[in-house]
Structure 1
Amino acid sequence: MTESVRAALGALQDERDHSWTPTQLDLNVSQRRELVIGFDGARTIKVGDPMPNFALEAVNGTTIRLDSLIATGPAVLIFFRFAGCPACNVALPVYQRVLWPTLRELGVPLVAISPQISSKLSEIQQRHALDFTIATDRGNHLARQLGITFEANSATRQAASTPLGEVTGTGTWELPFPTALVVDETGVVAWSDVTPDWMKRTEADAIINAVRSIITQI
Structure 2
Amino acid sequence: MKSFLNLTGALAVLAAPALAQTAPAPSLTASALAVGSTAPAFKGQDAAGRPVELRQLLKKGPVVLYFYRGQWCPYCNKELSQLQDSLQVLTAKGAQVVVITPETPANIDQTVAKTKASFPIVHDQNLTIMKAYKTAFVVDDATAKKYLGFGVDLKKANGLDQNILPVPATYVIGQDGKIKFAYFNTDYRHRTSVRQVAQAL
TM-score range with shorter-chain normalisation?
0.7 to 0.9
Rounded to whole Å, the distance in 1 between the matches of 2:15 and 2:127 is 24
- Preserved contact between residue 30 and residue 167 of structure 2 (Cα < 8 Å): no
Aligned equivalent of 1:156: 143
Q: Offset of 1:193 from its aligned partner?
A: 0.8
Deviations 1:93-141 (A, max 9, x none): 011112x111222221101110112232122112222121111122221
2:134 matches 1:147: yes
Match for 1:190 among 177, 180, 190?
A: 180
1:1-218 paired onto structure 2 within 5 Å: 16=9, 20=10, 28-32=14-18, 34=20, 43-98=31-86, 100-159=87-146, 160-161=148-149, 163-211=153-201
Secondary structure at the residue paired with 2:82? helix
* Structure with the larger helix share: 1
Q: Offset of 1:163 from its aligned partner?
A: 3.0
Q: Offset of 1:35 from its aligned partner?
A: 5.4
Cα distance, 1:31–1:184 mapped onto 2, change above 3 Å: closer
Q: CA RMSD in A?
A: 2.6
Identical columns (%) = 23
- Preserved contact between residue 20 and residue 186 of structure 2 (Cα < 8 Å): no
> 2:126 is matched by which residue type in structure 1?
G
Rounded to whole Å, the distance in 2 between the matches of 1:178 and 1:136 is 14
Stretches of structure 1 that go unaligned for 5 or more consecutive residues are 1-11, 212-218
Cα distance, 1:25–1:42 mapped onto 2, change above 3 Å: closer
Rounded to whole Å, the distance in 2 between the matches of 1:197 and 1:153 is 15
Q: Offset of 1:25 from its aligned partner?
A: 6.3
Rounded to whole Å, the distance in 1 between the matches of 2:130 and 2:18 is 19
Q: Offset of 1:33 from its aligned partner?
A: 7.6
- Preserved contact between residue 35 and residue 196 of structure 1 (Cα < 8 Å): no
Deviations 1:189-214 (A, max 9, x none): 11111110111011111100001xxx
Q: Which has the higher contact order (CA 8 A, sep 6+)?
A: 2
> 1:143 is matched by which residue type in structure 2?
M
> 1:185 is matched by which residue type in structure 2?
Q
Cα distance, 1:35–1:77 mapped onto 2, change above 3 Å: farther
- If you compute each CA radius of gyration, which structure gives the higher value, 1 or 2? 1
Rounded to whole Å, the distance in 2 between the matches of 1:182 and 1:35 is 28
Q: Offset of 1:31 from its aligned partner?
A: 4.1
Residue-pair matches, total: 188
Stretches of structure 2 that go unaligned for 5 or more consecutive residues are none
Deviations 1:34-73 (A, max 9, x none): 259x9xx994311111111111110011110011111032
- Preserved contact between residue 69 and residue 165 of structure 2 (Cα < 8 Å): yes
Q: Offset of 1:170 from its aligned partner?
A: 2.7
Cα distance, 1:25–1:143 mapped onto 2, change above 3 Å: closer
